[in-house]
Amino acid sequence: GAVVSQHPSWVICKSGTSVKIECRSLDFQATTMFWYRQFPKQSLMLMATSNEGSKATYEQGVEKDKFLINHASLTLSTLTVTSAHPEDSSFYICSARDDSAYEQYFGPGTRLTVT
Amino acid sequence: SQQGEEDPQALSIQEGENATMNCSYKTSINNLQWYRQNSGRGLVHLILIRSNEREKHSGRLRVTLDTSKKSSSLLITASRAADTASYFCATMRVEGAQKLVFGQGTRLTINP
């Protein structure tokens, strides 16, 4: 089956630093990937849609300068949380849409803790 | 933005009983999907039902879709302790960008 990986699975960083999270589709090509954020005991909130070779589309209320997205290849999208603050601590989940099947597959998530 | 509203927000039942969770949405959809998430873990895709389908089964799962009421239900029969998790519905809208939007979720606890 289609697999999406995320790296790292968890990360702890200090306030003010930047953290990069990778999302890879392992056995399919994905022109479109999605980034979600999930706070404890809450649902997934879509942050942005990442498109290979073009700018990401951000949901209302999501700061594009704070959450930098780069989709440089058909199998890799990265989310960089810049100048992280404790309120950015959350579970970040990516999803990749298979170009050939149009199915969407989710990664295992990355837990970010900002101290 | 969240499209789906789920109820109940939390459900606690005894092992062996059936669990029913409901999801309502606001706009026209291409399909509706149900996911399970164990605490602190990733999502597990359970079932997808298309807008032209009314009912779908997968093992102990039964999903219904009523597009006239813009609602769906997930039934888990003969529940097991391992079914304890959060369950989310997610809708793929007809118009606009093709993206999955999640409901608030139901936290299901199965008591042994």
Would you give per-residue pLDDT tens digits along chain A (115 residues)? 789 999 999 999 999 999 999 999 999 999 999 999 999 889 999 999 999 988 999 999 999 999 999 998 999 999 999 999 999 999 999 999 988 877 889 999 999 999 9
Are the C-beta atoms of residues A110 and A11 closer than 8 Å to each other?
yes
- Percent of chain B at pLDDT > 70 equals 95
A7 touches chain B (CB under 8 A): no
* Residues of chain A contacting B101 with CB distance shorter than 8 Å: 46
The tokens for B26 are 């606001």
The pLDDT tens digits for B50-98 are: 999 999 999 999 999 999 999 999 999 999 999 999 999 999 887 766 7
Contact criterion met (CB < 8 Å) for A91 and B40: yes
B109 touches chain A (CB under 8 A): no
The pLDDT tens digits for A56-72 are: 999 999 999 999 999 98
List, in order, residues 6 or more apart from B105 with CB less than 8 Å away. A42, A43, B6, B9, B37, B86, B87, B88
B102 touches chain A (CB under 8 A): yes
